């Protein structure tokens, strides 16, 4: 009987979850951040500070990590950035975009979940590329090489939580523009939402080189592309999301 009730609850919650509701759930607040409040948050006067272009528009005094640490994303599913791919699907359908390139696609779980009806091109490092070729042999995969002058072209480019891992994000942005997309969806953590005491860096995540506030990211991306939308897609996961397009 208890199994039947559980199954019924899951079915009902699946429907009501669309509206952000849950049946019979005990309210448990999402708790994240430093256990010590003092010093964990950015100073109010610096919430919208923007730094020099050579520092990727991150405020003066921020400590960028100097060494790259690879994060293997081949086993991930939809626990993070699910809504980023859902948004990319909405953008693709709205503007009639038929080809989608996912830069740093990782496991490609979310790419396949939401954009399987499009022609997809997953781009990642060599080991991930080989794994994806075996897992999805009927799909197009390529090794992402930011020095490639002639990468595959696509109508839409997704770069979901990739930019914070890169020593030089300019290389990725220039690479994306060579894909010649009509639209670009980029996501990355908003440092100001974290409350981890990392306002001046380096990031708490050892795989992140740097993390931007919303104002900093907007200023930085605007040096490469035209920004159409910039919003928090998932505050609980600190995610900020940008819809952009190449400059005319």
Q: How far apart are CA 168 and CA 152, in angstroms?
A: 21
Q: Read off the pTM.
A: 0.86
Q: Are residues 173 and 65 in the same domain?
A: yes
Average pLDDT of the chain is: 90
Q: Are residues 19 and 56 in the same domain?
A: no
- Please check whether residue 37 lies inside any domain of the structure: no
Q: Are residues 142 and 63 in the same domain?
A: yes
Model confidence at 11, pLDDT cuts 50, 70, 90, reads low
Q: What pLDDT is recorded for position 15?
A: 47
Q: Measuring CA to CA, which residue among 154, 72, 152, 68 is closest to residue 105?
A: 72
- Please check whether residue 9 lies inside any domain of the structure: yes
Q: How far apart are CA 180 and CA 92, in angstroms?
A: 15
Average pLDDT over residues 78-87: 92
Q: Which domain holds residue 212?
A: 44-245
Q: Which helix (H) or strand (E) holds 172?
A: helix 169-178
Q: What percentage of residues in the chain have a pLDDT greater than 70? A: 87
Cα torsion angle, 174, 160, 56, 221, sign: positive
Model confidence at 175, pLDDT cuts 50, 70, 90, reads very high
- Please check whether residue 38 lies inside any domain of the structure: no
- Over residues 218-247, the pLDDT tens digits come to 999 999 999 999 999 999 999 999 999 999
Q: What pLDDT is recorded for position 31?
A: 52
Model confidence at 3, pLDDT cuts 50, 70, 90, reads low
Q: Are residues 177 and 234 in the same domain?
A: yes
What's the total number of domains in the chain?
2
Is the pLDDT at 149 greater than 50? The verdict is yes
Q: How far is CA 14 from CA 9, 10, 18, 19, in A?
A: 8, 6, 7, 10
Q: Which helix (H) or strand (E) holds 122?
A: strand 119-124
Q: Are residues 51 and 22 in the same domain?
A: no
- Over residues 28-61, the pLDDT tens digits come to 444 578 889 999 999 999 999 999 999 999 999 9
Is the pLDDT at 143 greater than 80? The verdict is yes
Q: How far apart are CA 170 and CA 203, in angstroms?
A: 19
Q: What pLDDT is recorded for position 74?
A: 78
Q: What pLDDT is recorded for position 70?
A: 82
Average pLDDT over residues 74-82: 83
Q: Are residues 8 and 94 in the same domain?
A: no
Q: Are residues 120 and 209 in the same domain?
A: yes
Q: What pLDDT is recorded for position 76?
A: 79
- Over residues 185-219, the pLDDT tens digits come to 999 999 999 999 999 999 999 999 999 999 999 99
- Please check whether residue 133 lies inside any domain of the structure: yes
Q: Are residues 83 and 168 in the same domain?
A: yes
SS3 of residue 7 by DSSP:
helix
- Please check whether residue 64 lies inside any domain of the structure: yes
Q: Are residues 79 and 21 in the same domain?
A: no
Q: What percentage of residues in the chain have a pLDDT greater than 90? A: 80
- CATH number for the domain that contains residue 106: 3.40.50.150
Is the pLDDT at 16 greater than 70? The verdict is no
């Amino acid at each position: 009987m208890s199994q039947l009730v559980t199954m019924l609850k899951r079915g009902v919650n699946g429907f009501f979850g669309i509206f952000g509701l849950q049946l019979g759930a005990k309210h448990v607040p999402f708790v994240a951040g430093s256990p010590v409040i003092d010093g964990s948050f950015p100073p109010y006067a610096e919430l919208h500070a923007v730094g020099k272009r050579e520092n990727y528009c991150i405020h003066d005094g921020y400590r960028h990590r100097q060494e790259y640490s690879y994060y293997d994303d081949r086993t991930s599913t939809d626990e993070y950035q699910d809504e980023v791919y859902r948004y990319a699907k909405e953008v693709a359908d709205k503007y009639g975009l038929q080809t989608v390139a996912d830069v740093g696609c990782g496991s490609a779980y979310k790419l396949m979940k939401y954009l399987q009806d499009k022609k997809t091109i997953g781009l990642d490092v060599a080991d991930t590329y080989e794994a994806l070729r075996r897992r999805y042999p009927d799909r197009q995969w390529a090794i992402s090489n930011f020095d490639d002058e002639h990468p595959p072209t696509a109508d839409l480019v997704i770069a979901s939580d990739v930019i914070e891992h890169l020593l030089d994000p300019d290389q990725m942005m220039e690479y994306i523009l060579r894909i010649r997309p009509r639209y670009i969806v980029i996501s990355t953590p908003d440092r100001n939402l974290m409350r981890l005491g990392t306002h001046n860096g380096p990031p708490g995540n050892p795989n992140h080189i740097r993390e931007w506030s919303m104002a900093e990211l907007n200023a930085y991306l605007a040096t490469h592309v035209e920004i159409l939308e910039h919003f928090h897609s998932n505050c609980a996961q600190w995610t900020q999301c940008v819809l952009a397009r190449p400059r005319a």
